[in-house]
Amino acid sequence: MARDLEVRHCRALVAVHDGGGIGAAARTLGVAQSTVSETLLSLERVLGAPVTLRRAGREAVLTVAAEALLPHARSLIALSEAALAAGAPPGRAAIRLGTVESISSFLLPGPLGAFRQHWPGVEVRITIGLCEDLRKRVADGELDAALTIERIADDGADDLASVDLRLVVAPHHALAASAVTGSDLAEATFLLSDSEGAFDKLVRAWAGSVGRSPRFESAGSIEGVKRGVLAGDAVGVLPDYAVADEVSAGSLVTLRATIPLPRVALRLTTSPPPPSGSPLAGLIEQVRATCGAG
């Protein structure tokens, strides 16, 4: 039994990877940091190998062995959720909604609050992941719907709303007070929340279109981007809704680029489309209303 891989191990592992560190993982899982650390130590005993690298003054990162375990961990979490759903008592409905960190943190709280007032007997189970993986899980029947950030569709049929991306810097940054060109950004380090997101690819393409190849780094999370920007001279790239409060307060500054960044879309994926009047249709309607696309 001591060698069994448990779902709690998998959740902690995935949360550390997706959140960019133990602190973010604890917030995602709703537990204390010490609980995440203890779970990771338990996982190390099961594997017989370290799962994190601890760096002085910085968040922990996963080892190569832990990275190799990630897809299996995600699969075990999905199987666990499916088993729980199958064994749920009759009459207790549940919506399995997958989304990315920024949407969950900054856009969903309002719609979820309104939804619970209209559907108090329906549980909403949120799964955080990468866009491509979430869409696949919808197609495989492991999730009922997914809200992701994508390249704007040609017809826009499945887009809930379009969103501006912002280049943000610390107030003391050398470029903070003037309009910037591609040449100004040629030597910059761009911080993004992950290296596999849709706007990561869009920003890289944007940089290439203006003939520049700045350095790109992944901070692992929204909070990681903000802290990285404030701690140095990096340029953060985030959806506007994720930095609106900091920009309004003046703790972060939006760069005025002479060549505007591409926009991204909030995309809804369901399979099949929910019937009118169903709880899922009601939740989607609340999200549409918040996004201003309904």
The CATH 3.40.190.290 domain(s) of the chain lie at 165-262
Would you state the structure tokens that stand for residue 289, as one six-digit string? 């209303």
Contact call for residues 12 and 40 (beta carbons, < 8 A): yes
Give bridge partners of residue 179 from the DSSP assignment: 256
CB 239 within 8 A of CB 179: no
Which fold is adopted by the domain 1-87?
Arc Repressor Mutant, subunit A (1.10.10)
Indicate the pLDDT class of residue 2, thresholds 50, 70 and 90. low
pLDDT, tens digit, 9 for 90 and up, residues 39-93 = 999 999 999 999 988 765 567 788 988 988 988 888 888 777 667 666 666 555 7
Under CATH, what is the fold of the domain 165-262? D-Maltodextrin-Binding Protein; domain 2 (3.40.190)
Longest dimension (CA), the chain: 62
From CA 197, how far away is CA 259, in angstroms rounded? 21
pLDDT tens by residue, 125-158:
998 888 888 888 998 888 999 998 888 766 655 6
**CB–CB of 240/166 below 8 Å?**
yes
Domain with CATH 1.10.10.10 in the chain: 1-87
Provide the pLDDT confidence category of residue 211 given band limits of 50, 70 and 90: low
**Does domain 89-162+282-294 correspond to CATH entry 3.40.50.720?**
no
Distance CA 176, CA 174 (A): 6
| Per-residue model confidence (pLDDT) at position 229 | 92
Residues of the chain with CATH 3.40.190.10: 89-162+282-294
* Separation between Cα atoms, residue 83 and residue 236, nearest integer Å: 40
The confidence score (pLDDT) of residue 248 equals: 92
CA gap 103, 240 in Å, rounded: 11
pLDDT digits 0-9 by tens, 99-112:
988 888 888 988 88
Q: Count the residues in the chain.
A: 294
Residue 195 has pLDDT above 70, yes or no: no
Of the chain, the end-to-end C-alpha distance in Å amounts to 52
Tokens standing for residue 229? 């920007």
Where are any strands of DSSP class E within 5-144? 52-53, 61-62, 93-99, 122-128
pTM value is: 0.64
pLDDT reported for residue 158: 63
Say what the pLDDT of residue 97 is. 93
Question: What Rg value do the Cα atoms of the chain yield, rounded?
Answer: 20
